[in-house]
Amino acid sequence: MSLPAAFVSVIMIWSTTPLAIKWSTVGIGSSFAVLSRMTVSVLVCALALAVLRIRFPLHRKALHSYLASGLSMFGAMSLTYWSAQFVSSGMISVMYGLSPLITSFAAMLWLKEEAFTPTKLIGMLLGITGLVLVFHGGLGLGIGAASGLAVLFVAVVMQSLGLVWLKKIGDDSPPLATTLGALAVGLPLFFIVWWFSDGHLPDMANGAIAARAIVATLYLATIGSVLGFLLYYYMIKHMEAGRIALIALITPVLALLLGHGLNNEEVLPHVWFGTAFILLGLGMHRWGAQWLAYFSVRR
């Protein structure tokens, strides 16, 4: 696949994933929905590894990376699916737009990768301002929305910390192998949560609702999890980080529009303003130094 095609594909996958999560929980429950997604993803990943003859490392560093990615994925996905009962798909994407800022902040403290600069600090403050506005807008979106947003924020933090943990481990296993290893760690935990929170198989004869939930789950398991992951790592290998960072600036807006247009989700003005602040914060954090250098030269 060409790089532009991969870039557009990842944008579309990440923009539609929150809405698919929302649809996949309707009629079958959040715990069974995420369990089903991860079960299918394991089968797809295992089949892909066998067909492509990709090695599945079992050395110490690889096992450590499987544990780190599996635990962070379990925490993030479980909380995200639970919050989808109360939070719109667009809000899910907006909250995950904070992930680059949280990841960068954690890397500064944990890995000592980057130093605090004025532009990075401004970007983080703008992101926090946007988060406050999104929470304020969420208060008017019904019972449970505030709790859903709080739990969703914890999910974003867990995913971000998991990425930094993987970076610290420094394993060089194939991405598909890491995906399968993470799923192998997380799948029993998803099963335990489902068993104790519900433990009943949904009624698949529930008409169109069940059909849409099944299609959404299959989409998430194959396109959302496996293909999206592979394309993302493909871009990391062949594209500049600055261009890849543009994805985080595009997907929240598209997800808000998709949720509003396809799922009749209400988007209050505070949410739009909060989204703008978060995206501006991401831009300032990533390119603030270049922007200031450009304008200083122009002057």
Span 263-275, pLDDT tens digits: 888 777 878 888 8
The confidence score (pLDDT) of residue 190 equals 96
* Widest pairwise Cα distance in the chain: 68
Residues contacting 35, CB < 8 A, separation 6+: 187, 190, 191, 193, 194
Phi, psi of 87 (to 5 degrees): -120, 140
- CB count in 10 Å sphere of residue 259: 24
The confidence score (pLDDT) of residue 115 equals 65
The confidence score (pLDDT) of residue 245 equals 63
> Does the predicted model carry a pTM greater than 0.75?
yes
Taking only the tens place, the pLDDT of each residue in 17-74 is 999 999 988 878 889 999 999 999 999 999 999 998 999 999 999 999 999 989 999 9
Taking the domains of the chain in order of start, what are their residue ranges?
A: 3-298
Q: Give the model's confidence band at 206: pLDDT under 50 very low, under 70 low, under 90 confident, else very high.
A: low
Tell me the three state secondary structure of residue 186: helix
Q: Give the model's confidence band at 204: pLDDT under 50 very low, under 70 low, under 90 confident, else very high.
A: low
Taking only the tens place, the pLDDT of each residue in 175-191 is 888 889 999 999 999 99
